[in-house]
Amino acid sequence: MSPSTHSRSDLGIVLRTRPLREADLLVTLLTKDHGRLVGVAAHARKSRRRFGGGLSLGTVGEIDFVERPQSDLVRLEQIAVVHPPPDVRTPLVRFALFGLVLNLVEQMSVSHQQGQDKFALVRTVVAATEALLPQSLFLYFMVHWLALTGFAPTMTECARCGIFCGAAPLVCFASHEGGVICQTCAPQVRGALPVPSTARALWHDLLEAGAPDDVRPLSPEENAFFHTALWQYLQHVLDRPLAAAPYWPVLWESSRGIA
């Protein structure tokens, strides 16, 4: 190894793999100490010797990699599986929401930036994916992920005037304003959605305490609110449409009743 390269180890979660050249794979991972990492797994398409099952989406593994000077791409040497990926083949909605989680993590993570709390959250989601109601787990993930990435919507003060909205029943939510809107400001805001006070309380409770299995099933009003608000807000934060957009209504509705 040349003196200008550095061997490293870290825990990582596989977010995406793409073919590269004839035999290699380009692998995107979220790591504990190096943030988002994109690495080349040489010969991974032809030989499974070094990577085994370690390149399946959602795998948690101990990765050995080599950083290269003046390159964002690392060379992946080995992945030892610590936790296999969840079995998400059925039902389809679990597979689709899990894919959406990995996709959001990939798009909203920063390269080479330590993020143990983000890593821990995604690892929790990976571990709970087979057991929990997909809708509950997705909501849990979103509440915490938005907070950890600095994009949490404001749910207690009006995003426009800053007044405390408390448990006021007639509060609206506007993605493009960044959160809830008080009664006074609401008439000046286009496209604001009514938000049930219980939905705001649930958001707050999840952020404060919650383990993923603490998420209770949503009432019809909360379900309708999150269906629209969560998606609009995500698109606002990302500033581009998500690939899953056409399926979102079906995805959200069918993620409700599947344990």
Of 121, 116, 88, 85, the closest CA to residue 104 belongs to 121
Residue 52 or 194: the one with the smaller Cβ distance to Zn ion is 194
| Distance of closest approach, residue 159 Cβ to Zn ion, in angstroms | 8
Residue 37 or 185: the one with the smaller Cβ distance to Zn ion is 185
What is the DSSP code (8-state) at residue 131?
T
| Distance of closest approach, residue 157 Cβ to Zn ion, in angstroms | 8
Residue 53 or 162: the one with the smaller Cβ distance to Zn ion is 162
| Distance of closest approach, residue 161 Cβ to Zn ion, in angstroms | 3
Q: What is the contact surface with Zn ion in residues (CB under 5 A)?
A: 158, 160-161, 182, 185
Residue 44 or 182: the one with the smaller Cβ distance to Zn ion is 182
| Distance of closest approach, residue 195 Cβ to Zn ion, in angstroms | 14
35: left (phi over 0), alpha (psi -120 to 50) or beta: left
- Residue 182 in contact with residue 171, Cβ under 8 Å? yes
CA dihedral of 50, 56, 61, 67, whole degrees rounded to 10: 60
User: How does 123-154 read in b/e, with b if 16+ C-beta sit within 10 Å?
Assistant: bbbbebbeebbbbbbbbbbbbbbbebbeebbb
Residue 11 or 158: the one with the smaller Cβ distance to Zn ion is 158
Task: Give SS3 for 60.
Answer: strand
| Distance of closest approach, residue 180 Cβ to Zn ion, in angstroms | 9
Residue 133 or 174: the one with the smaller Cβ distance to Zn ion is 174
| Distance of closest approach, residue 154 Cβ to Zn ion, in angstroms | 11
CA distances from 44 to 25, 48, 55, 151 (A): 6, 6, 9, 36
What is the DSSP code (8-state) at residue 112?
T
Of 202, 191, 239, 230, the closest CA to residue 100 belongs to 230
